[in-house]
Structure 1
Amino acid sequence: MSEPRDWLEWDERHARAWIDVPQPVDDKYSRGVLGVRTGSRQYPGAAVLGVEAAARTGVGMVRYLGPRRASNLVLQRRPEVVTVPGRVEAWLLGSGMDAAARDDGTATALVEALAAGLPTVCDAGVLDLIAHATGPTVVTPHFRELAGLLSRPGKPVTAAQIAVSPGEWAGRAATELGVTVLLKGATTFVASPGGVRLRVTGAPAWLATAGSGDVLAGILGALLATHSATIDTDADALVALAATAALVHALAAGRASNGGPITALDVAGAVPATIAALLAPAPGGRRAATTV
């Protein structure tokens, strides 16, 4: 696989500046509220995994709005989650949804969230609706999903084509779709419409397991909610936060695995310790702060 040389390797040194640390004056609202519309009757577990990951990444409140069964499972796992509409700073949409099986009520709710102008993570079952997005948007496809997004009548794109040069395709998609693209894979490529190109490596192969993408989406949603004000003023914040989410995801997987098999919930459970290690002072007692 050959990729352009202008991809910046995103590592702990870069990512630690993009973790929001609460101050004594903060409350649950100032720390950010993440709105979540994920899960379905077919895949209710995706809602649990995304909410679990978001809560463990560090957000003031998660507001889950989804199917009854998924909502019940979320509350059983995380009773602090709020399940009524209200204020949010960012949205996480689409994990565990199948666009082909989506009912009209769900589609309307997703379009309303996309049109709210807020920072938004678009995953899985909402990718076909990204034309309705009016705020800063990150899409999180795997190769097959990206192929579907880029295919046009008479001009199909295949997952096999993308696998040959995923970074090139991620950059092309960001430019064509006008959104930040986080292309999942053994190496994660993150590209912005403005031309920023970041990549994250080092995730253990054990991370290729059901639900791991839902955990990644939850981590990213929390980071967008805690940095919503920064995203409004910094054009490059979105791509940096997406790469940071991918790095936290990879590091948490390595911590949970320790060389052995893991489940998606194991990865979510390792996020707090991973973030604590990321924020620990560097040798000499200083923390480096870097930008894109």
Structure 2
Amino acid sequence: MFRIFGRRFLEVTLFILAITFVSFLFVRLAPGDPVLTILQVDDVSITSDQVDELREEMGFNDPLLVQYGRWFMDFIRMDFGQSYITKQPVMTMIISGMPATLELSIGALLVMVSVALPLGSLAALYRQSWIDQFSRAFSMVGAAIPSFWLGFLLIDLLAVRWGLFPTMGREGIQSMVLPSVTLGLAISSAYVRLVRSSLIDSLSHDFIRAARSRGISETRIFFSHAFRYSLPPVITVFGVSLGSLIGGVVVIEVIFAYPGMGKMVVDSIRSRDYPVIQGYMVIMAILVFIVNSAVDVSYRYVNPELRLKEKDGL
């Protein structure tokens, strides 16, 4: 137990060091100058002395490692600094945008589960039937259509022409429907194929035939044995594709003008607001790490073979 805890602590420490340094380096090397953005050179005439003075005041003239060390010490104290543009604390901005992003992500996951699990399961149970053919067509079309294009189609059809939902903003449940459906359908196509193939493989194992020979009902066989045995690959892919989900949320928030963290970071990238960009990247990376750790735990729960191997020391 001590060895496992020590290894996990070392992994977390190295992960935090790596993600903070990489995010800091990438942001600093990106094109653009936040000093010019702050001084609004397009609107006000400024001198080069003013630019140099502000750059010195903000510490941009220091070596890159010195800037990183200063920022990392603030990060340890959970202080991400202040936004260059709004002058608000970065953590306050992230916390204010997090509920909108979380509700949109949860809504998309509910849509994905509602589509992928039933459709993939039925396609596996009734192979070569019309529903199997439909699931394959759905997967191919879903993989080919970009999420932003699907969002525009739904806005045009359900919001503009039929007037069923608002086109943008965050005003109650109705505002969540279109962005959640857009993102949920965009990510469900891959899971339909995965659920189908995993269930087909599960149903072909010897323990399924043994259960049928003992007279166990097909419903119990499916839910208690086959479906549970097929979950590990799905859970593993979900952990790996979590980054794609976060990227999809950013795109959808911009399309639907949804006031979450994704839209906030896009606006920050346009204005070269370094503290907000770095804070967002680090928070999202830590969130992905936590979810992947939870996936590892759940993988051991739904996969008895792995627990037996660990128990036997294999």
Q: Could you state the TM-score of these two structures normalised by the residue count of structure 2?
A: 0.23
Whichever of the two has the greater Rg, that structure is 2
Larger strand share, 1 or 2:
1
* Structure (1/2) with the larger helix percentage: 2
